[in-house]
Structure 1
């Protein structure tokens, strides 16, 4: 794949995944940290883009705000089930946690049988983590498949050492497309940078729209461009060494 072009603040809108793109993947989801030079660069870049910078993540927006404090950006959280169209706007939620109550109950037994599996409850999504228990991948995937059997209103996604379920009809590509319909993103050329399987929805959306699709890391991708790793993403964004 090709190296990506530089950001043009006059015409681009920038959408960035968080884990594996802005921060390294770690065993503890709460153990990530973005260094002050990177935070300062994101703040400056957002100003250069007249606010057309958004974080698009499987995380909740409240978690993103905690990791990026004191900054606030436009954001799509939980793969778009939460949205904040502008830094000062309220968070919009497209579904409620009650939709997943039966799945929560169904996962109780597998969590008791395999305490090394960790369940992250995002309210509108449930995530089984097996990063520290790679031998339990099949057990996690089978448990989620059984817990969601017959539920056409839900979608299960396998990501980097996780299996996640959330309401159907939403992914990062849909979320990005919705944000592009409104200022400050409307009329700009989208750039998306992401590393995981769940980012492929947005990468395909951006490429089809004639934007700049960038894969972070070495996994196969529909993206046109590639950056090797998190440090390469930071260099491309202009984060000082």
Structure 2
């Protein structure tokens, strides 16, 4: 993999993962902080791109808004199950929380028995976290596999110290593909930057459709380009043409 080209504000549409890309990963997901200078650069870059900049995350859009406050961006949250094409637009939800009610009940005994596992409930997705208890990786994966047995309408995704489940038919690649059909992204060349396994769907879509695919970190990837870490991402964003 090579260093990515600089962003061309005249023709690119930029899609950025959040955790591990714009902010460093931390044990407590609620404790991440983005530097004011980095936030200001995102605002300036959005203007340079005529609005064609979006955050694509496993987080809920409401959480992204809180971390990026006072700014708001176009966004795909919960791997695309939430969507907002314009910063001042309404959030569209493609599924309701009731879809996962049976899983909440099925996972409850595991959470009671393994207090070091934590469940993040995003409404349209459930995430088992084991970052502070890596020895429970297999237990977390087993619990989610058992809870989702026979549920073909759901998909389990393995991420960075997490096991996540959400309704099938949606991932970050699908989200990016659909956003590229709408203004202000339509007609532009996609650029995607992400660090996690869940970003591979979007990286593959962008690579296969003539865009710029950028992996953050050292993990194996389908991406054509690589940036070393969060600091390198912000340096690259600041060098856009």
| Bin for the TM-score computed over the shorter chain | over 0.9
| Number of aligned residues | 239
1:101 is matched with 101
- SS across alignment from 2:142: helix
2:173 is the counterpart of 1:135: no
**Shift, 1:209, TM fit:** 0.7
C-alpha separation in 2, matches of 1:81 and 1:143: 23
Q: Secondary structure at the match of 2:6?
A: coil
Could you list the structure 1 runs, at least 4 aligned residues long, displaced by more than 3 angstroms after superposition.
none
- Which residue of structure 2 aligns with residue 183 of structure 1? 183
1:155 pairs with 2:155: yes
Report the CA distance between 1:170 and its aligned residue. Answer: 0.1
State how 1:24-63 maps to structure 2 within 5 Å. Answer: 24-63=24-63
- Return the offset for 1:152: 0.2
Shift of 1:55: 0.0
Question: Counterpart of 1:167?
Answer: 167
Distance 2:135 2:177 in 1: 37
TM-score between both structures, scaled by the size of structure 2: 0.99
Instruction: Give unmatched runs, 5+ long, in structure 1.
Output: none
1:185 alignment partner, SS class: coil
1:26-66 CA distances to partner (integer Å, 9 max, x unpaired)?
Answer: 00000100010000000000000000000000000000000
Map of 1:117 onto structure 2: 117
Deviation of the 1:221 alpha carbon: 0.2
Instruction: Kindly state the Cα deviation for residue 195 of structure 1 after the two structures are TM-superposed.
Output: 0.1
3-state SS of the aligned residue for 1:107? helix
Q: How far apart are the structure 2 equivalents of 1:107 and 1:33?
A: 30
Residue 150 of structure 1: how far off its partner (Å): 0.4
Aligned twin of 1:193: 193
Superimposed CA distance per residue, residues 119-163 of structure 1 (whole angstroms, 9 cap, x where no aligned partner): 000000000000000010000000000000000000000000000
Which residue of the partner structure matches residue 77 of structure 1? 77
Q: How far apart, in 2, do the equivalents of 1:98 and 1:219 lie?
A: 35
CA deviations on 1:63-103 (whole Å, 9 max, x unpaired) are 00000000010000000000001111100000000000000
Task: Give the Cα–Cα distance (whole angstroms) in 2 for the partners of residues 59 and 237 of structure 1.
Answer: 22
- Compute the RMSD of aligned alpha carbons: 0.6
**Aligned twin of 1:66:** 66
* Distance across 1 between alignment mates of 2:172 and 2:119: 22
CA separation in 2, counterparts of 1:92 and 1:237? Answer: 28
Determine helix, strand or coil for the equivalent of 2:146. helix
CA distance in 2 between counterparts of 1:135 and 1:207 reads 35
SS in 2 for 1:192: strand
SS in 2 for 1:221: coil
